Structure 1
Amino acid sequence: MANATHQRDVINQAGFKMLTLCKSQMEKAKEAFMEHDSDLAEEVITKEARVNALDLKIEEDCEKFLALYNPVAIDLRFVMAIRKINFDLERIADHAYSISRYVDDMDEKIKPELFQVLQFEKMYSTIMEMFNYITTAYEEKDVSLARKVFKKDKILDQINRDSFGIIEEEIKKDIAVIKQSLILFSVVKKMERVGDLLKNIAEEIIFYIEAEVVKHKKKK
């Protein structure tokens, strides 16, 4: 049983490492995109290989845990949750990678006013708040923090819904911003999807933690 406990700790630590790595990828992708920083964009693109390697390790460790220890109850829920969380984190990293790739496609820095009218900074800061809630919820098993993610996701959904009309108006005002506007519109869509993935992760954390709490209550 000690071996099983150790292996579970290893998987848990790897999951936390994946979470912080993907958060860092999003932070750097945003800065590279807004500042038109090709060096930083290249760092994100290069580090994608590290994300993929960690993704595979977590998946292999989970499969090994299932095969060797035949887990039930809370241990089984733990492995199921980690596998799903890992899958969603890898997809978030894919979006960070794609956003960084856009830096190569842009001839110049996107006009600051386009970021302003699309509430890009608000969208990004909301995503980082969601990441922070999830990170603490994961580390401290705090369901209340995980639940805060759902309300934040509604902010991203609204900004995304408004973005098409705003882009349309900006292009009408100045046809020269078509390329920048379309690239930014695409990135807004990706940010909205990142929000959906973070919401999925919050749901998995709640599933795992609440099941554990229920089990402990029954014991008492």
Structure 2
Amino acid sequence: MQNVTYHREALNQSGIDMLSMCKSQLQKSNESFVNHDSDLAEEVIRNETRINALDLKIEKDCEKFIALYTPVAIDLRFVIALLKINSELERIADHAYGISKYVVDIDNKISPHLLTATQFDVMHDTIMLMMDIITEAYENKDVKVARKVFKKDKILDKININSFTVLEEEIKKDNSITAEALILLSVVKKMERVGDLIKNIAEEIIFYIDAEVLKHQNKK
């Protein structure tokens, strides 16, 4: 029993570490994008190897845990949920990497005016708050906290939908901004997708703790 508890806690800590690393990658990638800080963007790109290494470690450790202890009930739900949460976090890190690649590969700082018009700062702040929420929910096994991200995700959806129209109008005023507007639109869509991935993580936390499956419910 002691070995089970020890290995389960080690897995849990790896999940916390992955959450922390991915949050840091998001923060730095967005800061590098807004400020066109290529040095910070390069740091995010370099850190991708650490994310990938931890991703593989968590996957292997989960498989080993299942093979050694044949977990049932909440222990089994925990391992299944962690595997899915880990996958979603790795995809979040991929989006942070992609945003940073724009900064490194394209020598074109986005106009502060366009960032304001699309409410990019609101989008960023909302995503970071959502990351804080799921980290708290995961660490404290708190379903009520996990559910808070669903309402926050709607803010991202609205900004994403509005951004096309907003940028279209800006291009009509000055077509010389077309290239940077398209880059910004692409990053906004990445951010919206990050919100979806965070929402998926919240669903997995709820599944793990309460054995409640939420996936696809909103589509019925």
What is the TM-score when the length of structure 1 is the normalising length?
A: 0.95
Q: Residue 52 of structure 2 aligns to which amino acid in structure 1?
A: N
For the Cα contact (< 8 Å) 2:35–2:109, is it kept in 1?
A: yes
What corresponds to 1:184 in structure 2?
184
Partner of 1:197: 197
Whether the 8 Å contact between 2:32 and 2:38 is mirrored in structure 1 is yes
State the partner residue of 1:24.
24
| Corresponding position of 2:83 | 83
* Pairing of 1:144-183 with structure 2 (within 5 A): 144-183=144-183
Unaligned runs of 5+ in 1: 213-220
Which secondary structure does the structure 1 equivalent of 2:147 belong to? helix
Quote the Cα distance in structure 1 between the aligned partners of 2:61 and 2:185: 38
Corresponding residue for residue 95 of structure 1 = 95
Provide the TM-score with structure 2 as the length reference: 0.95
Contact 1:18 1:54 survives alignment (8 Å): yes
Q: Matched residues in 2 for 1:100 and 1:107: separation? A: 12
Tell me the distance in 2 between the aligned counterparts of 1:141 and 1:200: 16
Alignment RMSD: 1.0
Deviations 1:29-65, CA, capped at 9 Å, x for gaps: 0000010000000000000000000000000000000
State how far apart, in whole Å, the 2-side matches of 1:107 and 1:14 are: 37
The amino acid across from 2:61 in the alignment is D
Partner Cα distance (2:14, 2:78) in 1: 13
Q: Distance in 1 between matches of 2:166 and 2:111?
A: 14
Matched, 1:125 2:125: yes
Q: Name the counterpart of 1:216.
A: none
The number of equivalent residue pairs is 212
- Quick check: 1:106–1:180 contact (8 Å CA) kept in 2? no
Cross-structure match for 1:57: 57
1:117 and 1:133 map into 2 onto residues whose CA distance is: 27
Cα distance per residue 1:103-124 (max 9 Å; x no partner): 0233232110000000000001
Q: Is the 8 A contact 1:163 1:185 kept in 2?
A: yes
Q: Is the 8 A contact 1:147 1:202 kept in 2?
A: yes
2:42 and 2:104 in contact (8 A); partners too = no
Q: Distance in 2 between the 1:32 and 1:163 partners?
A: 20
Greater alpha carbon shift after TM alignment, 168-177 vs 184-193: 168-177
Q: What is the alpha-carbon distance in structure 2 between the residues aligned to residue 110 and residue 131 of structure 1?
A: 25
The residue that corresponds to 2:209 in the other structure is 209
Distance 1:180 1:42 in 2: 20
